[in-house]
Structures are given as C-alpha cells and as structure tokens.
Structure 1
Amino acid sequence: MRTHGWAGAAPASDEEAVARILAAAGKAIDERGADFSIADVARTLGVTRQTVYRYFPSTEALLMQAGVVAATDFLDRLSTHLQGITDPADAATEAIATALEWLPKDKHIGLLLSPGRTPALTESVTSDIALQFAQSVVRHFDVDWAAAGFADDDLDELAEHLLRIIQSFVIDPGRPPRTGAALRGYLRRWVAPALRT
C-alpha cells in the first residue's frame, strides 16, 4: 500500500485504498458521466494520478470495477422488484424489460453497456462476474425452479441467455425501440416460450 498523499489521511490497507478510489470514481461518474477521468478521481482523493494508476491501470479498468460495484446494487434492486412473480416466463420477461428500462437511468452501469463503448466493455456483459451476478438474481426469483423442471445447469444457461438478450437490446435497441407493454409483449412472445414446461 502507498501512504503518500491521500489529503493527509492515508488508507490503512490496499483494500481501503481501492475502496476510496472506487467511491471517488462513483462520485465523479455521478457528476460527469462518461467525461470522468483518473485526474478527477486523484483530485478528489488528494493524490497524484500515478497513485490511482498503481491500483487501476487505466480509466477503463477503473470504470469497469466501478461498474461491478454498481451492478451489485442494481441487481439487488432488480431482485426486489421481481418479488412475487412465481411463473418462470413472467419472471424472465419482467427481469429483461425492467433491466432495459433502468439501464439508461443508471449512469454507472449505463456507461459500461452503452453503445459506442469499447468492445471490452460491451463484452463484459457476459464476463464471469456478470454471469455470477445474473445467476444469483435468477436463483433469487420467487420461482420454484426445481418444480418447474429446471436444474442448476439450466439456471446458469438461463442467466447467460438473459444477459445476451439484454446485451443485444443495448447494442441495438431497434427502430423504433420497444418500451413498456410493447417490449414485454415481444419478450412474452419470443423469450417466454423457452421457459414454458
């Protein structure tokens, strides 16, 4: 751990340093969106850019890690929103539609998934971390998956499939983009049948 700078209050560990950097990055994203930089984060923390670079090799790396932190909160909110939906097809439809409705309003995750980001960021939608989050959300649906005939491997594939659908809508929302009832109707017609037993 580096102890120089930090506006006179050096972190006690590397973990604390990373947490402070991520908190400062979150604040910068809230204020500036995609225009945030390592320099903004360094200024907030009272350190040099080189200090931030010791923990994150680039703005993109910092953005991705800040996105992972934001994704945890996003998926917790999504799980809460889906409580009470016990039908597998209805739960999957609502999960996709709600995620697509919330993503543009979430500066942190929206930056990771918005069209025009670097390919590495767009591909991160199906990264190991994203898959683990999605698998956790699917398993927290109020669905009796075993009774519906789904094994653990099926749920892992379902989580991946839901992420891939979300990714495709993020990359190209359609012309015109579907929203609300139209989006849910489309998903019920084309996604839901795969979940009917």
Structure 2
Amino acid sequence: MRTHGWSGAAPADDDEAIARILAAARTVIDRTAGEFTIAEIARDLGVTRQTVYRYFPSADALVTATAVAQTGHFLDVLAEHLSGVRDPATAVVEGIAHTLERLPHEKYLNLLLTPGRAGAFSAGVTSDTALAFGRSILQRFPVDWAAAGITDLDELVEHMLRIVQSFVIDPGRPPRTGRELRDYLTTWVAPALSAATRTAGDRGRGRSPRTTAPS
C-alpha cells in the first residue's frame, strides 16, 4: 500500500484506507446527494485519484460500496417490521412491499436501487454485491428457510431483486401501493414460495412431489 499523501497521516493498512475512503464518500454524498467525482474524494483525503482508483474502479463502485455499508439501519427496520412473520411467502411479499415503500425515505437504499448514478447496482442484480445485500435481508427474516425447503437463497435473492428492480424502473400507471401492491405480489410471487414449501413437505413425508391424493 502506498503511504504518500493522506494529508500526512497514512492509513495502517488497506482496510483502514478503504474505511477512510468510504467515510469521505459518505460525507460527500450527504453534501451532494450522490453526485461527486473521484477527484473530489481524493482532494478531501489528500491523495491522488489513482490512490482511490486502487480500491474503487469508478465513482459508481464507490457510491455502491458506501450505500451498502450504510444500509444497516434499513435492515434493522425491516427485521423489526417482519419480526412476527414465519411463513416464507408472506415474508417475501411483505419484504418486497416494505422495501419499495421505504425507498423514498432511505437515502442510501435509494442510491442502491433507483435508476441513475448508483443504478449500476440496479442494472446488475446478479452481481456479487447485489446478492450479498439480498442475502443479508433474507437472513434477518424470522423464517426457517431450510425447513421450508428453500435451500438456494441466492436464487430467491435474485428473484426478489429482479422484482424490486422492475417496480423501481416502472412503478406502474398508477403505481401500486399498500394493499393493492401486496395483493399483486401475493397473486404472482407468493405461489412460488408456497410451492417450494409444499414440495419440502412432500419430501419430508416420503411422497413424490407430483403425487396427489386420490379424489
């Protein structure tokens, strides 16, 4: 790690360097609502642009990393909101709906999921960053995913993020909100979760998932 610059106080290691860059980016984002250049961050840190680029290849990557690091508050709010929900389908429906409803009020979540500069995240819902963020959401749900027969959380995360992305890009005319939004998600999203749960139950009883009871 290069040690010149940093306003005369070089970081001890790469982890500290990254933390200081993220802190500087957070300060600039708070001041500018996310519109900044790498040159501004470098100037605030007392380093060259090349030093910042060593850790973050673009301003979009830095915005995304900063936003992800600041979404803990939202995750706590969502976990509290879903604290009494154990059914996988209900949890996913409410998780998607509540995320969409909170979006205008959560600055850093908004940076992650709305089109624009940080829309690079929204355009890459299968990226490692997006999937890690989504997993952190599911892991806070009070749902026993394994018992429900849902063992591939990455696929579920991808599905949820694709749905959120579609509503962010085109909320509808007029946008669905409240009960209408939840009814729509219950009709078109919940059945996939319910089917996975039924399949797990059939396997647990030693019955083929395709087997139906005689009429």
Residue number among 152, 157, 160 corresponding to 1:159 in the alignment: 157
How many angstroms does 1:119 deviate by?
A: 6.8
Aligned to 2:19: 19
Q: Is the Cα–Cα contact under 8 Å of residues 64 and 118 in structure 2 kept in the other structure?
A: no
Q: What TM-score results when the alignment is normalised by the length of structure 2?
A: 0.78
Q: Is the Cα–Cα contact under 8 Å of residues 38 and 52 in structure 1 kept in the other structure?
A: yes
Q: Is the Cα–Cα contact under 8 Å of residues 113 and 125 in structure 1 kept in the other structure?
A: no
The residue type paired with residue 18 of structure 1 is I
Q: Is the Cα–Cα contact under 8 Å of residues 29 and 108 in structure 1 kept in the other structure?
A: no
Deviates more, 1:156-165 or 1:129-138: 129-138
> Secondary structure in 2 aligned to 1:12?
coil
> Which stretches in structure 2 are left out of the alignment for 5+ residues?
199-215
* Cα pair distance change 1:161/1:140, threshold 3 Å: same
* Cα pair distance change 1:112/1:145, threshold 3 Å: closer
- Equivalent-residue separation in structure 1 for 2:157 and 2:57 (angstroms): 30
The residue type paired with residue 25 of structure 2 is A
* Cα pair distance change 1:112/1:146, threshold 3 Å: closer
> Which stretches in structure 1 are left out of the alignment for 5+ residues?
none
Q: Relative CO higher for 1 or 2, CA cutoff 8 Å, sep ≥ 6?
A: 1
Q: Is the Cα–Cα contact under 8 Å of residues 7 and 47 in structure 1 kept in the other structure?
A: yes
Aligned to 1:191: 189
- Equivalent-residue separation in structure 2 for 1:131 and 1:83 (angstroms): 22
- Equivalent-residue separation in structure 2 for 1:51 and 1:146 (angstroms): 44
Aligned to 2:32: 32
- Equivalent-residue separation in structure 2 for 1:105 and 1:23 (angstroms): 21
Asked whether 1:134 is paired with 2:171, we answer no
Aligned to 1:80: 80
- Equivalent-residue separation in structure 1 for 2:55 and 2:128 (angstroms): 21
Q: Is the Cα–Cα contact under 8 Å of residues 67 and 109 in structure 1 kept in the other structure?
A: yes
* Cα pair distance change 1:133/1:58, threshold 3 Å: closer
Equivalenced residue count is: 195
Q: CA RMSD in A?
A: 2.4
How many angstroms does 1:168 deviate by?
A: 0.8
Q: Is the Cα–Cα contact under 8 Å of residues 93 and 184 in structure 1 kept in the other structure?
A: yes
Aligned to 1:123: 123
Deviates more, 1:184-193 or 1:94-103: 184-193
The residue type paired with residue 113 of structure 2 is L
Deviates more, 1:64-73 or 1:37-46: 64-73
- Equivalent-residue separation in structure 2 for 1:116 and 1:40 (angstroms): 19
Q: Which has the larger radius of gyration?
A: 2
> Secondary structure in 1 aligned to 2:33?
helix
Aligned to 1:101: 101
- Equivalent-residue separation in structure 2 for 1:117 and 1:45 (angstroms): 22
The residue type paired with residue 189 of structure 2 is V
Give the structure with the larger helix fraction: 1
